[in-house]
Structure 1
Amino acid sequence: MTQYEQNAYFLLIDWQQKMQKKPSLTNRIAKGIQNKINNIIPEKVHKVLTVTIEKMIKAVLFGAKYTTTEKLPTEASFQLRESYIRQQITFYQKTASVEGAIIGAGGILLGLAEFPILIGIKIKLLFNIASLYGFNIKDYKERLYILYIFQLAYSSQQRRNEIFQLLDNWEMYSSRLPDQAEEFDWRTFQQEYRDYIDLAKMAQLIPIIGAPVGAIANYHLLAQLGETAMNCFRMRILPRLSQIK
């Protein structure tokens, strides 16, 4: 392994340890605050969000809109790939931050309009990252991996532990998946996904504080997603590179 790859491996080890921690007092307090924010939002808003997430999952698993992404030559080095990936993360952070500040000022109505837009920004970033690492995103199993990364990034610590174990054993898990996306039980996945995704973003739907929350939350949520994605793909790539070199 090159020096860069070794450094990336050490960062991966540190991240893996964080993913496997038990829920702390801070985690439990944060979850309680998120639940209180969640309770402020009207039930009809929750129903709209649920439908939005369900449609997003269908689009990712079955749609073709995410097939055009950034690519690099097969012989590109790991370091070069991650350099391009960091540029992508920064670009999408800035895009989401500006978008969140503008729409966040509108409270619930504009917040609802933004929700599917922000999901689209995040999913597009994940597809670009997967493609830059050299994975075939036309394969629905790779798309499912992306959705689990999405869930891992925004889950409670307890749920994060469970998802991490699944991704850490992805080769074994994916070998048991059906060969066709249509056969996958996406409804169960959606119901599980809905309960945890983007709780922090709910605060953007509250009038007055929506604009600053939208800008700051979007920026940090994209950074969190980017870091999670990079380490999830490192788990699959770095062990292979160590064997080759």
Structure 2
Amino acid sequence: MIYEQQLQEDLFQWKKKLLRKSSMFERVSKKTQTKINDRIPEKVHTVITESIKKMVQATLAGSNLTTSEKKLEGKTLEDKEKLVKQTIAAFQKTAAVEGAGTGAGGIFGSVADFPLLLGIKMKCLFEIASLYGFDPKQYEERVFLLYVFQLAYSSDEHRRTTFEIIENWETKKKDLKEMDWKVFQQEYRDHIDLVKLLQIMPGIGAVVGGVANYHLVRHLGETAMNCYRIRTLK
């Protein structure tokens, strides 16, 4: 019970940090990227959106098949979270190795990094869901994972909207429509573009790729933990 009380306080602090206004640098970056997106022809957006949609759906299907069954009977929430933290740490190391390898390949390696990192992130989310006792084989749980993903990688306004859905999942999930894949891909790309930009530079690409991937997976893992804490503690 003491552990759950501490989690409530941790959740309060996380929510406060999550919903705070972005820094000036982040807001300027978002405005710049929005202007760039506005200049890209709609046909190009359609192609990118469809590509990422298929990539995510394929990754979800693959993760669904490979996620290991977890024996959670008799485990407390504290026990589960110890396993979750170990899982996130393992995926961080995997992502760092992958990022360093593709970063060393310059721009061509960075192109390969995108789907590989996406796969690592989705697999990580599936494992976390399983450890909290939720079945990612169920359709609504896979949809929930996509909203967790969006929450981790989105701008102020979209982050608040997404958090409201997650915080009130049991009531909101009934009214959800088809995922807006264009928004999904733009928010994700805008969030990671600046972080990953230096990865294409010769000489430092490997270091930047490894460090960036390590922190991107950590951020996703922490976001997922708090989202599942909200559902579990309710």
Match of 2:184 among 189, 193, 204: 193
Question: Secondary structure in 2 aligned to 1:84?
Answer: helix
Tell me the TM-score normalized by structure 1. 0.81
In the alignment, structure 1 residue 231 sits paired with structure 2 residue 226: yes
Other-structure match for 2:200: 206
Pair 1:221–1:70, CA change in 2 (3 A): farther
Q: Tell me, in whole angstroms, the C-alpha distance in 2 between the residues paired with 1:157 and 1:147.
A: 17
Q: Which amino acid aligns with 1:161?
A: R
- The answer to whether the 8 Å contact 1:151/1:193 transfers is yes
**Superposition deviation, residue 190 in structure 1:** 1.2
Tell me the TM-score normalized by structure 2. 0.85
Other-structure match for 1:80: 79
Pair 1:76–1:135, CA change in 2 (3 A): same
Q: Tell me, in whole angstroms, the C-alpha distance in 1 between the residues paired with 2:189 and 2:141.
A: 22
| Count of aligned pairs | 227
- The answer to whether the 8 Å contact 1:4/1:79 transfers is yes
Question: Secondary structure in 2 aligned to 1:73?
Answer: coil
Question: Secondary structure in 2 aligned to 1:31?
Answer: helix
Other-structure match for 2:215: 220
In the alignment, structure 1 residue 15 sits paired with structure 2 residue 14: yes
Other-structure match for 2:56: 57
Q: Tell me, in whole angstroms, the C-alpha distance in 1 between the residues paired with 2:33 and 2:98.
A: 22
Q: Tell me, in whole angstroms, the C-alpha distance in 2 between the residues paired with 1:110 and 1:50.
A: 21
**Superposition deviation, residue 30 in structure 1:** 4.2
Taking the TM superposition and a 5 Å limit, the aligned residue runs for 1:79-98 are 79-98=78-97
Question: Secondary structure in 2 aligned to 1:196?
Answer: helix
- The answer to whether the 8 Å contact 1:21/1:161 transfers is no
Taking the TM superposition and a 5 Å limit, the aligned residue runs for 1:1-245 are 2-31=1-30, 50-59=49-58, 63=61, 65-67=63-65, 68-177=67-176, 185-186=178-179, 189-199=180-190, 200-201=192-193, 202-204=196-198, 206-208=200-202, 209-239=204-234
Pair 1:38–1:106, CA change in 2 (3 A): farther
Q: Tell me, in whole angstroms, the C-alpha distance in 1 between the residues paired with 2:10 and 2:150.
A: 21
- The answer to whether the 8 Å contact 1:151/1:197 transfers is yes
Q: Tell me, in whole angstroms, the C-alpha distance in 2 between the residues paired with 1:211 and 1:35.
A: 28
Unaligned runs of 5+ in 2: 39-43
- The answer to whether the 8 Å contact 1:72/1:134 transfers is no
Q: Which amino acid aligns with 1:190?
A: W
Quote the RMSD (CA, aligned, Å): 2.9
Q: Tell me, in whole angstroms, the C-alpha distance in 2 between the residues paired with 1:31 and 1:139.
A: 34
Unaligned runs of 5+ in 1: 40-44, 178-183, 240-245
Q: Which amino acid aligns with 1:223?
A: R
